């Protein structure tokens, strides 16, 4: 406690660190426990870590590239491309079957 008082005076730490009534003591079970003082600050830090705003233009570009809407657009375009390739391969195999039938029917 003496170290904390010294840090508050000399290093300009937060004076509210010395408040001991910022929490409730366990009553019967651990489910009743609430840490009131640091809860808001920890929640703010947690939100900042999870949803950190991009600092540079490269980070903004990466964030845009990894968004859910962009992923959906890529999935839909991959589906369309696979359908087009499938239809093309069916047509090509049909043409190959016709050429083989013509070669069988009219040998040279």
54-102 residue pLDDT tens: 889 998 888 777 777 788 888 999 999 999 999 999 999 999 999 999 9
Which DSSP helix (H) or strand (E) runs through 45?
A: helix 36-50
Q: What is the mean pLDDT of the chain?
A: 81
Q: Which residue has the higher pLDDT, 6 or 20?
A: 6
Overall number of domains in the chain: 1
Question: What tokens appear for 67 in the block?
Answer: 């968004």
Identify the domain containing residue 51 by its residue range. Answer: 2-105
C-alpha–C-alpha distance, residues 27 and 45, integer Å: 28
Q: State if pTM tops 0.85.
A: no
The token duo for 24 is 């409730």
């Amino acid at each position: 406690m003496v170290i904390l008082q010294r840090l508050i005076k000399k290093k300009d730490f937060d004076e509210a660190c010395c408040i001991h009534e910022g929490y409730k003591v366990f009553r019967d079970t651990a489910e009743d426990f609430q840490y009131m003082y640091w809860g808001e600050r920890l929640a703010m830090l947690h939100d900042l870590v999870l949803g950190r705003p991009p600092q540079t233009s490269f980070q903004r570009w990466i964030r845009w590239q990894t968004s859910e809407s962009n992923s959906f657009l890529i999935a839909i375009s991959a589906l369309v491309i696979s359908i087009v390739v499938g239809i093309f391969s069916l047509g090509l195999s049909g043409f190959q079957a016709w050429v083989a039938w013509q070669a069988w029917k009219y040998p040279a």
